[in-house]
Amino acid sequence: MPLLVPSLLHGLGQGAAAPVVVLLALEHGASVPQAGLVAATAGLGMLVGDVPSGWIISRLGERRAVAASTLIGVAGAVLSALATRPDLIAVGVALVGLATAVSMVARQNSVVEVVAYSHRGRALSAVAASMRAGLLLGPFLGAALVAAAGPEGGLWLQAAALAVAGALMMCVPDATPRGSGGEGVTMVAVRHARVLTRVGSGAMVLGVCRTCRTAVLPLWAAHIGLDAVATSVVFGIGGAVDLLVSLPAGRALDTIGRVPVAVASTTVFAAGALLLPLANGAVSVAAVSVVLGAANGLSNGLLMTLGADLAPPGDRVAFLGLWRVAHDSGTVVGPLVVAGVTATAGLAAASLASGGLAAAGAVIFARVVPRYLPRRTSDHGDDNRCPAVLPADTIPSTT
């Protein structure tokens, strides 16, 4: 629970803050494109924080790193709530993103440390699912505070959620003691450059697919004439399917294997994106939303599990920070891809391009990942410190 609840609270804060950041920026004089850039600094902050996160955790120790990231995240949320200029709001949002990168690597590392390899996929999917549950609940709880205190209310809720999440994480035993730096981030990047670039390319494609889902689907709904309420309902249906599929997907990671789940999720993403231009009404758009939500749910916990499998035991946190760069690069690039293709060839072309990228991701996962996944026959050969929950001979092959 000290790992699942902080994930829920992080998602809760993010879900409460995301809608109001744009409103606050507009309220303080930003144009619509500028307000969009302010919101995008959250992803940029995470991307900037990914690389040093492993170094910070290994040098300070996990608990000190969590404490520091919590202070930075709370300060960022408070700054955004009190700011009267769009640029200051952007700085606060970026600080929250940077702090989130450190805390997510710390949570992932803690799960890998305490959970047997046979249950790794389920555990990491549960952590990811708890964050997605928070993202679904956040806007509703934030709306109550916004009604009482204005748009700043969502940011105050985020600050409180980050503070409580950090306090709970401090209850977790320190999985990475202070000064356990291993080879360092630069050496890890050089030594594992091939796996980070080859398998990381699939992770980047998945990041692009996820952000294209959140960008293209609402735009297409508006394009065919659905109002804001109908669009929200359609998107909410997909989010509910996403959450429902998440935990079974985690079990599939442990029982069927990493590669089949990775190929399935990207293939379903491709199908949904390719079908979207054919949707011309609320029912058909909702059906595509269900397909895309299922794809997103299938990928829930996938990249964290792959990163944990591929990470060298002595330099795990450094590797995990570098591993996150690939996916977070995709989340930053995704909206730019959608905007660029839409501007030149139209929204339908943007959806088809997303489908093509997802299909390419399925090929990458199918052909590249099995070469690098370690084959383990028991938990005694793994870097976990807890005994296996299942007997060694029941642990599934990762391929």
Residue 125: give the domain boundaries: 1-168
pLDDT in tens, 138-194: 888 888 888 888 888 889 999 999 999 999 988 877 767 665 656 678 889 999 999
Cβ within 8 Å of residue 44, ≥6 positions away? 94, 97, 332
- Which range scores top for mean pLDDT: 27-41, 137-151, 260-274? 260-274
**Do residue 244 and residue 358 come from a single domain?**
yes
Say whether both 164 and 189 belong to one domain: no
Sign of the Cα pseudo-torsion (28, 33, 36, 38, in order)? negative
Residue 331 · residue 161 · CB < 8 Å: no
Question: Domain check: are 157 and 277 in the same one?
Answer: no
pLDDT at 391: 32
Per residue, the 3-state secondary structure of the chain, as one string, reads CCCHHHHHHHHHHHHHHHHHHHHHHHHCCCCHHHHHHHHHHHHHHHHHHHHHHHHHHHHHCHHHHHHHHHHHHHHHHHHHHHCCCHHHHHHHHHHHHHHHHHHHHHHHHHHHHHCCHHHHHHHHHHHHHHHHHHHHHHHHHHHHHHHHHCCHHHHHHHHHHHHHHHHHHCCCCCCCCCCCCCCCHHHHHHHCHHHHHHHHHHHHHHHHHHHHHHHHHHHHHHHCCCCHHHHHHHHHHHHHHHHHHHHHHHHHHHHCCHHHHHHHHHHHHHHHHHHHHHCCCHHHHHHHHHHHHHHHHHCCCHHHHHHHHHCCHHHHHHHHHHHHHHHHHHHHHHHHHHHHHHHHHCHHHHHHHHHHHHHHHHHHHHHHHHHHCCCCCCHHHCCCCCCCCCCHHHCCCCC
Given a cut of 60, is residue 329 above it in pLDDT? yes
**Rounded mean pLDDT of the chain?**
86
Q: Is residue 17 part of a domain?
A: yes
Residue 394 domain flag: no
361 and 284 share one domain: yes
Mean pLDDT of 261-289: 95
Stated pTM of the model? 0.84
- The residue count of the chain comes to 399
Let me know whether 282 and 313 are in one domain. Answer: yes
User: Are both 88 and 217 inside the same structural domain?
Assistant: no
Q: Where is the domain boundary, 168, 194, 211?
A: 168
Of the pLDDT bands very low, low, confident and very high (cuts 50, 70, 90), residue 72 is: very high
* Structural domain contains residue 176: no
Share of the chain above pLDDT 90, in %: 49
Nearest to 310 by CA among 20, 152, 108, 42: 108
pLDDT at residue 35, as a whole number: 82
Instruction: Decide if 141 is inside a domain.
Output: yes
* Residue 38 lies inside a defined structural domain of this protein: yes
Are 298 and 343 found together in one domain?
yes
Question: Same domain, yes or no, for 224 and 371?
Answer: yes
Distance from C-alpha of 81 to C-alpha of 79, rounded to nearest angstrom? 5
Task: Say yes or no: 152 and 21 in one domain.
Answer: yes
At 103-134, the pLDDT tens digits run 999 888 888 888 888 999 999 999 999 998 99
Is residue 130 within 8 Å of 3, Cβ to Cβ?
A: no
Give the residue-averaged pLDDT of 48-75: 90
- Contact residues for 381 (Cβ-Cβ < 8 A; gap 6+): none
pLDDT score at 377: 44
- How many domains is the chain partitioned into structurally? 2
Among 144, 168, 192, the domain boundary falls at 168
Lowest-pLDDT range of 15-19, 32-36, 118-122, 274-278: 32-36
In a domain, 383, yes or no: no
The confidence score (pLDDT) of residue 182 equals: 62
- Residue 251 belongs to domain with CATH number: 1.20.1250.20
Q: With respect to residue 256, please indicate whether it lies within any of the assigned structural domains.
A: yes
Q: Tell me, yes or no, whether 208 lies in a domain.
A: yes
Tell me if 310 sits within 8 A of 174, measured CB to CB. no
* Rounded distance between C-alpha atoms, residue 7 and residue 300, angstroms: 13
Distance, CA of 72 to CA of 49 (rounded, Å): 12
Q: Are residues 99 and 25 part of one domain?
A: yes
Domain-ending residue, one of 106, 138, 168: 168
Question: Is there a single domain that holds both residue 192 and residue 306?
Answer: yes
85 and 224 within one domain: no
